[in-house]
Chain A
Amino acid sequence: MKKNNKGFVLVETLVVTVFVMAVFSVIYINFYPLAGEYERREFYDDIDSKYGAYWMKVFVQRSSFSLNTSLLNSQGYVTFTCNNLTNAEDQSFCNAMWDKLYVNQVIVTNYRIGDDSKSTDFKRKAPTSSALANNPSFLAYISYLPDFVTASLNGAKYRVLVEFKRPNGTLEADDFYYTYSNMEVIK
């Protein structure tokens, strides 16, 4: 029997090359957004932000802050500012720490933030809420967070989500970046 030793013709090689390049292009296009997502997570729950969220949690837990649970249950969250603290000393410390920790926004939610069975589910309502609707990076952080279905081991019923607006270390006033963190609240 005569063996076929002709090999591939140029057209066959080109077709295979084009096919392989098309496959690589599809893989690249799908992989590239993942790399961006990974880079964004560098700014989620870093050590400075976790520390800042801890101090915001301390102020939320103070007895001089009364949490409006009916508003929290109806709209899924309440916004916290230092002015909500009725004790002058708490308010003064809170304001000073707010500035030094570069806090931009604090919201208090239920411990569990994702619950499809409830119409007040925070994750579902957040994109339409007045405080977050125009804040896509905060919304991206919220959607990145787990639902926290399992109850807190510490008996926490609430959660603080904190946005930080940090200067970039340059002299330009508008040169800054955002970081995010969350922490459970026992109140």
Chain B
Amino acid sequence: MIRKLNNKGMSAIEILVTFVLVAIIVVSMYDGIVGLKEKETISSHKLSLATYKNLLTKDIQDDLIKIGLAGADIQPLNVDEGYYVTLTLRDGSKRILEVKQVFGCEALDYDEALQVCGQRGIDLNQSDEFSISYGPEGNLTEYPIPDLGHEEIANFSGTGTHTIYTLRINEVNITTSNQVFSLRITFTHPDLGTNYSIDIASPINYP
């Protein structure tokens, strides 16, 4: 038996309707997919920052809870580069907390660099330098700030580049008022804002 094949294909109107339907679906899904992609990126940044914060905070909190704090000496790190804190624990041992906060020059053109960075005393070719180190004297562990994106800006001197990170240490506030040691390090990121911070407080010589 000879079987007759249907070779008619689709009519122009059917193809047109199909294309229109597909186009409508793609356009309506596009925004949603772009939004989900952004959410995924932000979630991944949050996870990196939370992991970083948990690692660092846990080490400091363990010492403050298990041994206890007997005193804290807060000194500036070099000139305007952050803080060098010596924590004396109740068993007599010492822990060093070093917070380095050096802002680089974000300006993209020379005039802006002179105006913005020059006024704030930032070298025009300065890179961002942010780090936190903690540990016993002479055996500090460095906890590098996670790299959640960075930009290489050409140096105004003509050679090389300097680096500006998207995640930066926004503010460092260390005090010892009312017999309580308090540390607050606030981070800033274009997607995460400023509501990520390291907050530690401990009474000094609390019986």
Is A48 part of the contact surface with B, judged by Cβ < 8 Å?
yes
Tell whether, in the assembled complex, residue B14 and residue A93 are in contact, meaning their CB atoms are under 8 Å apart: no
Cα–Cα distance between A46 and B50 once the two chains are bound (Å): 9
- Provide the A57-99 mask, 1 if CB < 8 A to any CB of B, else 0: 0000000000000000000000000000000010011011100
Tell whether, in the assembled complex, residue B57 and residue A48 are in contact, meaning their CB atoms are under 8 Å apart: yes
In B145-165, the 8 Å CB interface with A consists of none
- Provide the B188-204 mask, 1 if CB < 8 A to any CB of A, else 0: 10000111111111010
Question: Interface residue count for A (Cβ, 8 Å)?
Answer: 27
A55: which B residues are within 8 A, CB to CB? 201, 203
B203: which A residues are within 8 A, CB to CB? 55, 93, 96-97
Partner of B194, one of A10, A46, A100, A170: A170
Is B90 part of the contact surface with A, judged by Cβ < 8 Å?
no
Asked whether A166 and B199 contact (CB < 8 A) given A51-B61, A97-B180, the answer is: yes
Tell whether, in the assembled complex, residue B182 and residue A100 are in contact, meaning their CB atoms are under 8 Å apart: yes
Tell whether, in the assembled complex, residue A169 and residue B195 are in contact, meaning their CB atoms are under 8 Å apart: yes
In B61-83, the 8 Å CB interface with A consists of 61, 65
Smallest beta-carbon distance A77→chain B, Å: 25
B199: which A residues are within 8 A, CB to CB? 48, 101-102, 166
Is B53 part of the contact surface with A, judged by Cβ < 8 Å?
yes
Tell whether, in the assembled complex, residue B170 and residue A169 are in contact, meaning their CB atoms are under 8 Å apart: yes
Is A31 part of the contact surface with B, judged by Cβ < 8 Å?
no
A42: which B residues are within 8 A, CB to CB? 46
Cα–Cα distance between A124 and B194 once the two chains are bound (Å): 37
30 residue pairs of the A-B complex, CB under 8 angstroms, read A2-B3, A5-B6, A10-B17, A42-B46, A46-B50, A47-B54, A47-B57, A47-B58, A47-B61, A48-B57, A48-B198, A48-B199, A51-B57, A51-B65, A55-B201, A55-B203, A89-B207, A92-B179, A93-B203, A93-B206, A96-B179, A96-B180, A97-B180, A97-B201, A100-B180, A100-B182, A101-B201, A168-B195, A170-B193, A177-B195
Interface residues of B, dominant DSSP: mixed
Closest residue of chain A to B6, judged by CB?
A5
In A131-151, the 8 Å CB interface with B consists of none
Is B27 part of the contact surface with A, judged by Cβ < 8 Å?
no
Tell whether, in the assembled complex, residue A51 and residue B200 are in contact, meaning their CB atoms are under 8 Å apart: yes
Contacts A48-B199, A169-B186, A177-B195 aside, 13 further interface pairs with beta carbons under 8 A come to A6-B6, A47-B57, A51-B57, A54-B65, A93-B203, A93-B206, A95-B178, A96-B203, A100-B201, A169-B170, A169-B195, A169-B196, A170-B193
Cα–Cα distance between A17 and B200 once the two chains are bound (Å): 55
A47: which B residues are within 8 A, CB to CB? 53-54, 57-58, 61
Closest residue of chain A to B195, judged by CB?
A168
Cα–Cα distance between A89 and B179 once the two chains are bound (Å): 11
Cα–Cα distance between A120 and B91 once the two chains are bound (Å): 45
Is A3 part of the contact surface with B, judged by Cβ < 8 Å?
yes
Partner of A10, one of B14, B170, B180, B201: B14
Tell whether, in the assembled complex, residue B194 and residue A96 are in contact, meaning their CB atoms are under 8 Å apart: no
In B164-188, the 8 Å CB interface with A consists of 170-171, 177-180, 182, 186, 188
Is B12 part of the contact surface with A, judged by Cβ < 8 Å?
no
